[in-house]
Amino acid sequence: MPASPGYASGPERGPARAGGVLVCAMNWLGDSVMSLPALRAFRLARPGVRIVVLSKRKLADFWRLCPAADEIVELPGTLFGMIRLARRLRAERFAEALILPNSFRSALTPFLARIPRRAGFRGHARSWMLTRVIEPPADPARRHQCHEMAAIFGVADCPLEPPRLAPPEEAEALARELLPGPGARWAALLPGAARGSSKRWPASSFAEVGRRLRDGFSCRIAVLGSAEEADVCGYVAASIGSGAASLAGRTSLPVLAAVMSRCAVVVANDSGGMHLASAVNAPVVALFGGTDPSRTGPLHARAITLQGAGKGRRDIARRSRAAGRALRGIGPDQVIEAARRVMSQAPGLCQ
């Protein structure tokens, strides 16, 4: 049953199932993927607990791919809807809320729902709504964001495995239609990034890489992105020419995951799509400019990260000249060599 705003998908709701854990999920796709290792470790540590994920509507389909989540609740977009949802959650009698985003609003819903234990990071004048304030890990060896999530889940000392998602069969079937040709070798390019131009490698460089993957590696090229990225994806596909197609806006998140899982290589900016590709174990070349891959890089071994000159930071402005210069410092030759290396580890022919 698809979840609607304020409705928990899954078994019948009610006080009889009291005592579960509400996970207030991250607001962006990449951050959500990076929280999966901690959620899985939490599920293994507490196998009998009921886990309900509170998610923005745009990410609900992503969370339905996650086997560790028992139910999904979609977060309403209005204050009135959030207050009404809090009343419904109060009737569920959750024992604990784990608040992953570091925002005021993310802490407000479980506070209004009167969930007795509420854990999250301090900041944004919200500490008074938390019953347990979590400190980020101080160990330099645990710089990656996945370890911050583990601290909130209380599994900091548990082993964390890379995120693993399996698209459902209906998504796989649609992916086979979008990437036709039994035995054909497909490569995916993701020239967009929701954060903006500061995370986008030049579209002309993506087009050059696409032509070289087609001509040198016999790849067909799928240019992927959201509907908002249709212009840049269309430009890249048109610049590549024959053998390339833009699928921007034509895939749900499960279908996007299934498409990338069928590709010999995925070349992507530091973006949610890059992390999703890694989560389905696709070979990935990830392009970083001003951001820091030691904190937010892909977690799978089948990924190569390239970073331009300059010191990576965790947060950058949507428009950053320094980040743009760093990205332009990555040349197509470097990307092609990285693609060659990662494809040599996994041929990735479509079936």
Domain count across the chain? 2
Pick the closest to residue 40 from 194, 119, 149, 188 (CA basis).
Answer: 149
CATH, residue 69 = 3.40.50.2000
Instruction: Please give the residue range of the domain that contains residue 253.
Output: 169-345
pLDDT score at 61: 96
Let me know whether 42 and 125 are in one domain. Answer: yes
- How large is the C-alpha radius of gyration of the chain? 21
Percent of the chain with pLDDT over 70: 88
Contact 261, 163 (CB under 8 A): no
Q: Which two three-digit tokens encode residue 88?
A: 């419904």
pLDDT score at 224: 98
Pick the closest to residue 287 from 232, 330, 341 (CA basis).
Answer: 330
Question: Residue 210: enclosing H or E segment and its boundaries?
Answer: helix 203-217
Let me know whether 149 and 177 are in one domain. Answer: no
For residue 331, is it within any domain? yes
For range 160-170, the mean pLDDT:
96
Let me know whether 71 and 177 are in one domain. Answer: no
Contact 21, 51 (CB under 8 A): yes
Let me know whether 146 and 178 are in one domain. Answer: no
Pick the closest to residue 54 from 27, 90, 25 (CA basis).
Answer: 25
Let me know whether 185 and 331 are in one domain. Answer: yes
**H, E, C per residue of 154-222:** CCCCCCCCCCCCCCCHHHHHHHHHHCCCCCCCEEEEECCCCCCHHHCCCHHHHHHHHHHHHHHHCCEEE
For residue 88, is it within any domain? yes
Residue type, 219: C
Residue type, 341: R
- In this prediction, residue 345 has a pLDDT band, given cuts at 50, 70 and 90, of confident
Of 118, 153, 188, the last residue of a domain is 153
C-alpha–C-alpha distance, residues 213 and 235, integer Å: 17
For residue 328, is it within any domain? yes
Let me know whether 121 and 216 are in one domain. Answer: no
For residue 161, is it within any domain? no
Whether the per-residue pLDDT at 274 is higher than 50: the answer is yes
Of 129, 153, 177, the last residue of a domain is 153
For residue 249, is it within any domain? yes
Let me know whether 336 and 217 are in one domain. Answer: yes
Whether the per-residue pLDDT at 175 is higher than 50: the answer is yes
Whether the per-residue pLDDT at 9 is higher than 60: the answer is no
Let me know whether 34 and 101 are in one domain. Answer: yes
Let me know whether 90 and 238 are in one domain. Answer: no
pLDDT digits (tens, 9 = 90+) for 16-67: 356 899 999 999 999 999 999 999 999 999 999 999 999 999 999 999 999 9
What's the distance, CA 120 to chain centroid?
20
pLDDT score at 320: 61
Let me know whether 117 and 223 are in one domain. Answer: no
**H, E, C per residue of 261-281:** HCCCEEEEECCHHHHHHHHCC
Contact 31, 145 (CB under 8 A): yes
For residue 37, is it within any domain? yes
Q: Which two three-digit tokens encode residue 87?
A: 């009343």
Give the HSE-up count for residue 339: Cα atoms under 13 Å, Cβ half-sphere. 27
Let me know whether 218 and 330 are in one domain. Answer: yes
Contact 110, 131 (CB under 8 A): no
Let me know whether 133 and 256 are in one domain. Answer: no
Whether the per-residue pLDDT at 5 is higher than 60: the answer is no
pLDDT score at 240: 98
Percent of the chain with pLDDT over 90: 77
For residue 288, is it within any domain? yes
For residue 94, is it within any domain? yes
